[in-house]
Amino acid sequence: MMNSSVKILFMLILLMSTMITVSANSWLGAWMGLEINLLSFIPLMSDNNLMSTEASLKYFLIQALASTVFLFSVIFLMVNSFYLLSMNNFYLHTLILSALFMKSGAAPFHFWFPVVMQGLSWMNAIILMTWQKIAPFMLISYIIIKPMMLASAIFSSIIGAVGGLNQTSLFKLMAYSSINHLSWMLMAMMYSQSLWLMYFLFYSFLSMTLILMFYIFNISHINQLFNMNMKSKILKFMVFLNLLSLGGLPPFIGFMPKWMVIQLLTMNNQLFTMTVLIISALITLFFYLRICYTTFMFNYMETNWKINLQYNNLLLYFYWICSSFSIMGLFIISMMFMVL
């Protein structure tokens, strides 16, 4: 286990590298930020066990491949613009976009994402699912190639929905859920810069709320949910309400960004894509509901003897606050709009 001061150092470098990429005014500056981001995240992934070492190696190889494609495409793009060569910029932009899709884990370049997630701890998993997507997505928003983004969004929605059906690992379940949410962000990005940022913020908040509970109780598989040693059944109930909120069930706050994306796609006559996204969201809701139903109704059990586990009360209080907003947020926002 690394020293905490070393982790803080690499975490600060990780944060600054994303800022470098987002604020870069050239493709080479953005590439430099991506490389610093990669080299600062790998030490955070390594926890001196075989699974994390394997995950960090796979992550390094995939990201290095994507960075190589990105760098060579950028160099060809600069040479083409300086020397007025006959090379078509469309193909170079397609290569850049493909490399960024691979870096963010969007389909059809998603193959590494669930495997790497399986070998991480929950804290590293939430970084990979949220913060590590900011830099690639900001760069994708600079190159909008609608046919390619449309195809990637449809593939991501289908793979994210179907891939999570037969999973027992919560890490892989969250990974496929992340791939599914990427499709909504890509479609929002095609028509509105502010909407995909808002969707990303909601997605990050809901993912962190859910993963915080998995981290507190050290849960990594679905069968561990059947007998969670929680202080109360209400706490267990809120875990699954947050799961349904992440899936976008209407009374909860997770439905709000999807609602806005559906409205945006309807206004732009993307009815087929909207239908595919909604069907895939319903499939994800199906396996979320299956987990909830099985845990509460079908295979619920309690032991007669109790184990007094040591909980971090500060984390639990923070979880209660986040869960309250996740569950009641849509009602609160609706009331605010009614008053205004």
Nearest alpha carbon to residue 173 among 259, 249, 246, 278: 246
Helix axes of 271-293 and 255-267: crossing angle, nearest 10 degrees: 160
Mean pLDDT of each 10-residue bin along the chain, 340 residues long: 78 95 93 94 85 91 95 89 72 92 92 93 93 94 91 94 90 94 94 92 92 87 73 75 88 90 93 94 90 68 54 72 81 70
The pTM score is 0.90
Q: Which token pair is 312?
A: 């971090």
Question: According to the model, what pLDDT value does residue 1 have?
Answer: 45
Full 3-state SS string of the chain: CCCHHHHHHHHHHHHHHHHHHHHCCCHHHHHHHHHHHHHHHHHHHCCCCHHHHHHHHHHHHHHHHHHHHHHHHHHHHHHHHHHCCCCCHHHHHHHHHHHHHHHHCCCCCCCHHHHHHHCCCHHHHHHHHCHHHHHHHHHHCCCCCHHHHHHHHHHHHHHHHHHCCCCCEHHHHHHHHHHHHHHHHHHHHHHCHHHHHHHHHHHHHHHHHHHHHHHHCCCCEHHHHCCCCCCCHHHHHHHHHHHHHHHCCCCCCCHHHHHHHHHHHHHCCCHHHHHHHHHHHHHHHHHHHHHHHHHHHHCCCCCCCCCCCCCCHHHHHHHHHHHHHHHHHHHHHHHHHHHC
